[in-house]
């Protein structure tokens, strides 16, 4: 049921992330709500959510009655609830995935290579002057692809940069981000030995050589 008509004309694509506000009820009681709009990759939503938002345009608010089998299909953690869900969903806009790099499988001639095997290329020059150290905490935006062109992770699609210590990430990141200054955007071609290996132990971790676009936002 449409609660508020939208002002947009385009419907979101399954590969987009959606900026939404939402409130859900189960068993006649409010189960969750967003205090502020949040960005959610549509492919990671439960099936009923995906089906509902595909019908919407920007600015629209709908009430969805979702059967339990479609409401919690992608819920993380333990057993998902089985109750039917009533969801008030407001669609505020789409975030399209970054384009797959055209040089994904072969770095261009102007790319540079370090002794470790890391290959990098400056995409956008920053305004900073200081480089992070191997133990610095940094804030970045990033997107990562495997060599088959599949994007496996992206802070851009989540709508929020991420922060971490450079001694807490894969070696390719530890070395590569130290080459950057604030404002730089670089592309890294990271060999498997500096990423998660050819056969990662943790399920869902990308295997083999990887490519990342990284923008350094802050050094702390």
pLDDT at 50: 95
pLDDT at 73: 62
pLDDT at 136: 97
pLDDT at 182: 97
Which of these, 7, 81, 34, 61, lies nearest to 52 by C-alpha position? 61
DSSP string, 146-198: ETTS-EEEEHHHHTS-EEEEGGGS-HHHHHHHTT--TT-EEEEEE-GGGTT-S
- Catalytic residue chosen out of the listed positions 53, 212, 213, 219: 212
Catalytic-residue membership of 153: yes
- Residue 17, class by beta-carbon neighbours within 10 Å (0-12 exposed, 13-18 middle, 19+ buried)? buried
Catalytic-residue membership of 217: no
pLDDT at 28: 84
CATH topology of domain 2-95: Chitinase A; domain 3 (3.10.50)
Which of these, 29, 30, 64, 27, lies nearest to 47 by C-alpha position? 64
Catalytic-residue membership of 72: no
pLDDT at 31: 87
Catalytic-residue membership of 91: no
Q: What is the spatial distance between Cα 49 and Cα 99, in angstroms, rounded to a whole number?
A: 25
- Within the chain, which residue ranges are assigned CATH 3.10.50.40? 2-95, 112-219
Residue whose entry in the numeric block shows the structure tokens 């089906």: 51
- Catalytic residue chosen out of the listed positions 184, 196, 209, 219: 196
| Alpha helices (H) in the chain, listed in sequence order | 47-53, 68-71, 155-158, 171-177
- Catalytic residue chosen out of the listed positions 32, 103, 148, 152: 152
pLDDT at 76: 46
pLDDT at 78: 46
Predicted TM-score (pTM) of the model is 0.77
pLDDT at 80: 58
pLDDT truncated to tens, each residue of the chain (220 aa)? 999 999 989 999 999 999 999 999 998 888 899 988 999 899 889 999 999 999 999 999 999 999 988 998 654 444 556 789 999 999 999 998 999 999 999 999 999 999 999 999 999 999 999 999 999 999 999 999 999 999 999 999 888 899 999 999 999 999 999 999 999 999 999 999 999 999 988 888 999 999 999 999 999 9
- Catalytic residue chosen out of the listed positions 91, 120, 142, 188: 142
pLDDT at 159: 85
Check whether domain 112-219 has CATH 3.40.920.10, yes or no? no
Which of these, 142, 60, 67, 72, lies nearest to 101 by C-alpha position? 142
């Amino acid at each position: 049921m449409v609660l508020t008509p939208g002002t947009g004309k385009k419907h979101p694509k399954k590969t987009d992330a959606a900026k939404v506000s939402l409130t859900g009820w189960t068993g006649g009681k409010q189960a969750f709500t967003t205090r502020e709009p949040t960005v959610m990759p549509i492919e990671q939503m439960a099936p009923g959510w995906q089906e509902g938002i595909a019908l919407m345009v920007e600015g629209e608010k709908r009430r969805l009655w979702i059967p339990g089998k479609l409401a919690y299909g992608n819920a993380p953690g333990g057993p998902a609830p089985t109750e039917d869900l009533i969801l008030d969903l407001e669609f505020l806009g789409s975030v399209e995935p970054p384009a797959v790099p055209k040089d994904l499988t072969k770095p261009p001639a102007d790319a540079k290579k370090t002794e470790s095997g890391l290959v990098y290329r400056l995409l956008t020059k920053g305004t900073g002057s200081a480089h992070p150290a191997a133990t610095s905490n940094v804030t970045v935006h990033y997107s990562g692809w495997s060599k088959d062109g599949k994007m496996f992770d992206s802070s851009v699609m989540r709508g929020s940069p991420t922060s971490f210590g450079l001694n807490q990430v894969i070696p390719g990141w530890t070395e590569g981000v130290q080459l950057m200054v604030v404002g730089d955007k670089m592309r890294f071609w990271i060999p498997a030995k500096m990423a998660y290996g050819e056969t990662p132990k943790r399920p869902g971790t990308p295997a083999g050589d990887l490519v990342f676009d990284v923008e350094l936002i802050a050094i702390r």
